[in-house]
Amino acid sequence: MMRFPANSVLRRAVRRAKQAFRPSCVILLYHRIGNGTDRFRNCVTVEHFASHLEILRKYAKPVALQTLIRNCASRQPVRSAVAVTFDDGYGSTFDWALPLLEHYKMPATVFVVAGMLNSIREFWWDQLDYIFSLPGFDHAELNHYYARLQHAKESERPNILSRLWSRSGQKPPVRTSHRVMDSGQLRQMAKSPFIELGAHTMTHPVLTRLDTVTRSAEIINARNVLRDITGITPMGFSYPHGVYDESTIDVVRSCGYEYACCSRPRGVASLGCVYSIPRFAVPDWDGETFSSKLEGWLASPAVSR
């Protein structure tokens, strides 16, 4: 006797089929472009980044992030649409990424840690990466220190780092490859028709661990600093470490930001909430690997938010 699937099984199959036919859009997340050690997979070489852009131009539909969000929010996603974003605002975004983005006519959104502009001090994770490349540092300790620094208060981090530097017998390096942009670079970059400027707080904290006043200041001040330097008010926000909660969303929304990105690795088809937009972080893949990953992401069932 022929057996018919139960209703719930049928419903699941129909839902899966619907998802499969819904166009999935993808938002990519880059950090630093350049060379050097990088245990946290934040850095993509110039050559690999150029090949990623070439692949996007050939096989996808590159769009500005705001366009992708608008299309998905109105439930009219464009198949194979891909938007490029950068977090942190490294000088390498200006030096290496911007010329390539302009060459390939690729729009990108750059979320900048406003309090690090013009600083020669490196982000704590880049200092940590450097320290653990030195002799006498056991890789097994790296994750412990990463978690400790990530959750430390802004005022506690210099002490933790300075103890590690003392142990290493070296001084923190001043690497131009790891610096955040200066005001001049930011101003010039913001003028590019391919660039949208976004905010990424003042000091890159885990926002959910801050008290309400400090959290609001991180979110509001970043916007004001970037606006004062460039004359452009950032409309987008990116959560440091991808961490957020409902009350953080409320602050971001009430500050006037129109959308916010996290780093949940998912494709997107329709957007109910534009304050938790998922992105795929891209490590230093060669063109072939990037191409096959992108194909998978574009074909994977998208989430509806």
Distance between start and end Cα atoms, the chain:
42
Q: Residue 93 is encoded by which pair of tokens?
A: 């975004």
Question: Nearest distance from residue 87's CB to Zn ion, in Å?
Answer: 4
Q: Which residues pair with 26 in a beta bridge?
A: 82
Size of the site for Zn ion (CB under 5 A): 3
Using the rule CB under 5 A, is 87 a contact of Zn ion? yes
Using the rule CB under 5 A, is 88 a contact of Zn ion? yes
Q: Which residue's CB is nearer to Zn ion, number 38 or number 87?
A: 87
Using the rule CB under 5 A, is 129 a contact of Zn ion? no
Q: Which residue's CB is nearer to Zn ion, number 96 or number 302?
A: 96
Alpha helices by DSSP H, listed for the chain, are 7-21, 46-59, 65-73, 91-92, 98-103, 124-131, 142-151, 157-168, 183-190, 212-230, 246-254, 287-299
> Pattern 236-265, binding to Zn ion, x per CB under 5 A?
----x-------------------------
Selected range binding Zn ion among 65-73, 119-127, 235-243, 297-305, rule: CB under 5 A: 235-243
Q: Which residue's CB is nearer to Zn ion, number 198 or number 240?
A: 240
- Quickly tell me which residue has 């938790």 as its tokens: 276
Question: Nearest distance from residue 65's CB to Zn ion, in Å?
Answer: 16
Helices (H) and strands (E) in the chain, counts: 12, 12
Distance CA 50, CA 290 (A): 11
Q: Which residue's CB is nearer to Zn ion, number 69 or number 113?
A: 113
For the four alpha carbons of 296, 302, 303 and 305, in that order, the dihedral sign comes to positive
Q: Which residue's CB is nearer to Zn ion, number 29 or number 53?
A: 29
Using the rule CB under 5 A, is 122 a contact of Zn ion? no
CA atoms within 13 A of residue 247's CA, in its CB half-sphere:
9
Using the rule CB under 5 A, is 218 a contact of Zn ion? no
Residue ranges in contact with Zn ion by CB under 5 A? 87-88, 240
